[in-house]
Amino acid sequence: MSINDHIERDISLAMPADYFDLMKPRVMRLVVFTALVGMLLAPGPIDPVLAVIAVVCIAIGAGASGALNMWYDADIDSIMSRTANRPIPSGRITGDQALNFGMVLSVLSVITLGLLVNWVAGAILAFTIFFYAVIYTMWLKRSTPQNIVIGGAAGAFPPMIGWACITGSVGVESLALFAIIFIWTPPHFWALALWKMRDYDDAHVPMMPNAAGEKSTRAQMLAYAVLLAPLSASPYLLGFSGALVGALSFVLGLAFLWFTFRVWKVAGRDEKLSAEKKLFGFSIAYLFLIFALLLIDAITFRFSGAYLLNGFGA
């Protein structure tokens, strides 16, 4: 191969859309949504311009950690069917390009959030990126079946960042929002892992079903779902959402428990694993609905000074 061929081969064909894919847009959507809810629920005035800037910074920070994750995990991504088409394994972007992209976006998003909003929010964003890229991706993911349990914290931080953008602190309320996502993550992820076990096995990633067995995984999922039901109503119990939203959230938590119970009860006897697939689908709907309810309540409170049906008709 001549040098010219080498250079031609090395000249990137990457389009901006490929870089955007590095940011895990679907994860970013959830991050934007939960951060926005955290922001609107927090007590204190919101400047709409700064709120938009804050949400964009949080989204870009999340995207940056996604790019760093794809850079480090390119070897196992190429083995698993679910991730084989990501920008690096498919050859659209090189590992170095992804690393540079992730690092630049991490620094820019944290500095912008810190300078323009506040440094508590900036610091939590920086910690979130560090936690996802280093603690989860580099350390836990390949070494312990508790990887997504602890790593789930990275996905749970965004509403906390949103809250900190308004208050400049971390209150018990934002910890409750954190806890909902944190406890939701294991049953959500393991439902997927139960029917993608082969993939994780091939990539030597010690996901709970491969490492501890399906029976133990299903039992653990049930335990998390039991915890999640009362946690779903915690915003009402802590006084930062109304009774109607609290009751509906609790019902959603019970529905989550029911779907998880089905997974535990059927225990893989159904070869199609439809209980697991249903739980995975419902878990996404659950998180969206819980935060959508809180969003409606937060907006109602900001406009009228009262939550939806506070105290059931009070």
Per CB under 8 A, residues contacting another protein are: 2-4, 7-8, 11-16, 19, 47, 49-50, 53, 56, 108, 112, 116
CB nearer another protein, residue 50 or residue 223: 50
Closer of 56 and 289 to another protein (Cβ): 56
Q: C-beta of 5: minimal distance to another protein in Å?
A: 10
Does residue 207 contact residue 193 with C-beta atoms inside 8 Å?
yes
CB 39 within 8 A of CB 46: yes
Which CA distances in Å does 244 have to 158, 296, 300, 311?
Answer: 25, 11, 12, 8
Contact call for residues 288 and 192 (beta carbons, < 8 A): no
Taking the least distance from each CB to another protein, the nearer of 3 and 172 is 3
Minimum Å gap between C-beta 137 and another protein is 25
Q: Which CB atom, from 2 or from 304, has the smaller least distance to another protein?
A: 2
CB of 12 to another protein, least distance (A): 6
Closest distance between another protein and the C-beta of residue 87, in Å?
13
Half-sphere exposure in the Cβ direction for 216 (13 Å, CA): 9
Coil/strand/helix, residue 82:
coil
Q: Which residue has the tokens 């018990």?
A: 172
- Residue 23 CB, shortest distance to another protein, in Å, is 12
Nearer to another protein, 14 or 103 (CB): 14
CA–CA dist 270, 238 (Å, integer): 41
Q: Is 6 exposed, middle or buried (0-12, 13-18, 19+ CB in 10 A)?
A: exposed
CA quadruple 119, 124, 128, 134: dihedral positive or negative? positive
How many angstroms separate the Cα of 20 from the Cα of each of 17, 61, 111, 145, 283?
Answer: 5, 13, 21, 30, 26
Q: Which is nearer to another protein, 32 or 108 (CB)?
A: 108
- Taking the complex as a whole, how short is the minimal distance between the CB of residue 1 and another protein, in angstroms? 11
